[in-house]
Structure 1
Amino acid sequence: MAIFYEDLAVGEVEEFGAYDVTEAELLAFAEQYDPQWFHVDKERAEAESMYGGLITSGWHTASMTMRMLVDHHFSEAVSLGAKGIHEIRWRVPVRAGDTLSVRTEILEKEVETPSRGVVVTKAETLNQADEVVMRQVSEVMYARRDGE
C-alpha cells in the first residue's frame, strides 16, 4: 500500500531495522569515501585513537540508516525526495559487530502545493544497547493523495 502525505501524522513514532555492521563493510566504505586512519588502519586505531579501535565513518552510519529507511518506509512511500537535513549529529561511535536500528518521529507537516506536502522527521539510529549513535532531522516531500 502506497504511503501518501495524508497517511502520516505528527507525533507518529516507528521503530524498525536490524542492520549488522561488519568490519569488511566498514573498511570498504571508509577506503572509498572517508579514508581517515581511525576508519581504515585497525592497528593504529587500536593503539592511538581516542576510540580504542576502528569506527565507521559517520557518512557510513548515515548510509546504513538510509538503507533501513528505504527498506521500511520509502520503498512504499510516494516520496518526491528530500529538501534537506536540518541537523545531523553523530553521538556514539559505530563499530564492527554493532546492530543498528532506527526510530523515527514525525515532527511537522505542511502542505506545500496542491500536489505535495513536506514532512519534517527526526530519525535516531540506535545500537544494540539502545544508545543513540546518530540523530538527524530532515524535510521530505510526499505526493498528496488527491493532488493534481
Structure 2
Amino acid sequence: MIEWFDDLALGIRIKTGEVTITTEDIKRFAAEFDPQPFHLDEAAAEKTVFKGLAASGWHTAAISMRLCVEARPFGSQPLMGVGVDSLRWMMPVRPGDVLHVEGEVVELIPSRTKPQGIAKVKWTAYNQNGEAVYTFTPTAILARRPDPVTA
C-alpha cells in the first residue's frame, strides 16, 4: 500500500472507480458554475460546435478530482497540491458517459530540507469507449516516512 512519498516509484499506475454522468448532473453544475447554453439547453447545444449537450470542462475536472480522492492513491494522506500542469480537455463529456480516471507517477522529487517530497501523477479521464476526455498533471506534496529513530 502506498502511504508515504517513499513508497512511490516512477511508473506506478492507479485506477479509480467509475461514475455515470447524467443530464441532470450536467445542468445542475452548469447552472451554478458555467451557465452557458451548450451546458444547459439541449436545443441550444445542438446549434453549437458540440452538436448536443456537453458537460462543462470544469465539471469534468471536478468529477475527475472526486474519483481520484475516492481512490485514495496515497493511503490516508490527502491529495494536496501546489499546481497543475498540462490540463487539457480532449473531447466533450455527454449524458450517459461513464468516466473513470487512470494515473501514472511521472516525477518524484524528494525535499532536501523538509520531511516531504513532490510527486507528479499524470491523470487521464476516460469514457466508456476508452477515449481520453481530460488530462491533468498535478504537483502533489506528500510526507516522507517518519524516521523510526526520531519519531
Deviations 1:56-110 (A, max 9, x none): 0000000000010000025834236101001200001001100001110000101
Corresponding residue number in structure 2 for 1:129: 129
Secondary structure at 1:139 match in 2? strand
Contact in 2 for aligned 1:80/1:143 (Cα 8 Å): no
- Structure 2 unmatched ranges of 5 or more: none
RMSD: 1.7
TM-score using structure 1 length: 0.92
Secondary structure at 1:68 match in 2? helix
Corresponding residue number in structure 1 for 2:40: 40
Aligned residue runs from structure 1 range 1-148, under 5 A:
3-46=3-46, 48-73=47-72, 76-79=75-78, 81-112=80-111, 113-146=113-146
Work out the CA distance in 2 between the residues paired with 1:123 and 1:142. Answer: 17
Q: Which stretches of structure 1, 4 residues or longer, exceed 4 Å deviation after superposition?
A: none
Deviations 1:7-34 (A, max 9, x none): 1111111222211101111100000000
Contact in 1 for aligned 2:39/2:53 (Cα 8 Å): yes
Would you tell me which structure has more strand in proportion to its own residues? 1
Work out the CA distance in 2 between the residues paired with 1:2 and 1:13. Answer: 11
Work out the CA distance in 2 between the residues paired with 1:115 and 1:33. Answer: 38
Residue 2 (structure 1) shift: 6.7
Contact in 1 for aligned 2:3/2:74 (Cα 8 Å): no
Q: Which amino acid aligns with 1:126?
A: Y
